[in-house]
Amino acid sequence: MKPRILVTRENFPEVLAHLAERFEVEDNQADTPFPPAELRARLADKDGALITGIDRIDGPLLDACPRLKAACSIAVGYNNMDLGACTARGVLATNAPDVLNETTADLAFALIMAAGRRITESERWLRAGHWQGWRVDQFLGQDIHEATLGIVGMGRIGQAIARRGRGFDMTILYNNRSRVPPEVEAALGARRVDLHDLLRASDFVCLVLPYTRDTHHLIGERELALMKPTAVLVNIARGGIVDDAALVAALKSRRIAGAGLDVFEGEPVLHPGFLELDNVALTPHIGSASRATRLAMGMTAVANLRAALAGERPPNLLNPDVWEKQRS
């Protein structure tokens, strides 16, 4: 009998077809998010799960799913998975890195430009019928070219953003736990600085780091106060890294000039203050949203699931201890 798997959310027919070659698949093409109790019930008799970045995989869920051997996510971020709980129960956990680097970096740049050049704000104003004609001081924004771009989190996506910044002759600063190899720094023309120096010096601050206990509210009132009044904050990483209430206050008082946000604390519910502000460009967590990339993310999760349930090491294993233990 084929192993049984659950695909927690809608996915492309190509992804489901690949899964069906090896597995008995329960899908969710109606795309109704399963509340925790329903997810537990549906996963109880499954050997594997193909999940998204928003399905919570934790101890209580895993306790209800004794057959589960692998949880494979289509997302690169894995703050939704309790890796300790997976490891303790021998469940292989995987993510989908790399395939979304360029698409996500594209969106970061779109938000840098949209917020810096007031694209969404001026479009809203124009659509509302306010335009009476050209004026010399209409919608003055921040120049992108030759500005200083501060990237917080210099992983693969951060580096892809830096490459785009180079094309705009930007000065690239970065903050990261560890220094990236000197040859990468040289190729990107990037200089590592501490977070406070980055916040003080940057015209655009772009957040591209994982959400963990340590990065919760990394950017709050104190940090926003360090930024230039002309600066723009962009978050394409995760809600929760920024204290949204503090950001709303900083945008409202024009403590900073603007923000471009793809992710929010408590999304899909937004801090209501964002909706009242003009100086923020908002997108609904679409960082990786091109068909090619979302398909590649799905296929990456398929490859991980196929390996895991065939007794092979999944290419993007997040908890290698489980694998080592199974081998010993």
Residues making contact with ligand 8YV (CB under 6 A): 52-54, 74-77, 100, 287-288
Tokens of 83: 């890796």
Does 285 participate in catalysis according to the annotation? Answer: yes
Total residue length of the chain: 328
CB of 61 to ligand 8YV, least distance (A): 17
* Closer Cβ to ligand 8YV, 142 or 288, answer by number: 288
CB–CB of 50/305 below 8 Å? yes
Residues forming beta bridges with residue 48, ordered by sequence position: 5, 70
CB of 10 to ligand 8YV, least distance (A): 11
CB of 236 to ligand 8YV, least distance (A): 8
Does 67 participate in catalysis according to the annotation? Answer: no
Query: Tokens 């589960």 map to which residue?
Result: 68
Nearest to 139 by CA among 126, 116, 122, 124: 122
By beta-carbon distance, which residue lies closest to ligand 8YV? 53
Q: How far is CA 274 from CA 92, 161, 223, 262, in A?
A: 39, 25, 19, 12
Nearest to 73 by CA among 26, 24, 2, 7: 7
Tokens of 292: 């090619």
CB of 85 to ligand 8YV, least distance (A): 19
β-sheet with 70-73: strand ranges across:
24-26, 4-7, 48-51, 70-73, 92-94
Q: Which residues contact 271 (CB under 8 A, 6 or more apart)?
A: 244, 245, 247, 248, 264, 265
Does 10 participate in catalysis according to the annotation? Answer: no
* Closer Cβ to ligand 8YV, 117 or 238, answer by number: 238
The catalytic position among 18, 117, 118, 285 is 285
* Closer Cβ to ligand 8YV, 77 or 258, answer by number: 77
Q: Which residues contact 132 (CB under 8 A, 6 or more apart)?
A: none
* Closer Cβ to ligand 8YV, 74 or 317, answer by number: 74
* Closer Cβ to ligand 8YV, 96 or 227, answer by number: 96
Nearest to 221 by CA among 194, 255, 266, 178: 255
CB of 109 to ligand 8YV, least distance (A): 16
CB of 19 to ligand 8YV, least distance (A): 17
* Closer Cβ to ligand 8YV, 50 or 113, answer by number: 50
The catalytic position among 18, 238, 271, 306 is 238
CB of 237 to ligand 8YV, least distance (A): 8
Measured distance CA(287)–CA(104) in Å, rounded: 5
The catalytic position among 22, 217, 267, 313 is 267
Measured distance CA(77)–CA(270) in Å, rounded: 20
Q: How far is CA 172 from CA 27, 66, 137, 159, 162, in A?
A: 44, 48, 29, 10, 7
* Closer Cβ to ligand 8YV, 158 or 287, answer by number: 287
Q: How far is CA 197 from CA 191, 223, 240, in A?
A: 11, 10, 22
Q: Which residues are catalytic?
A: 238, 267, 285
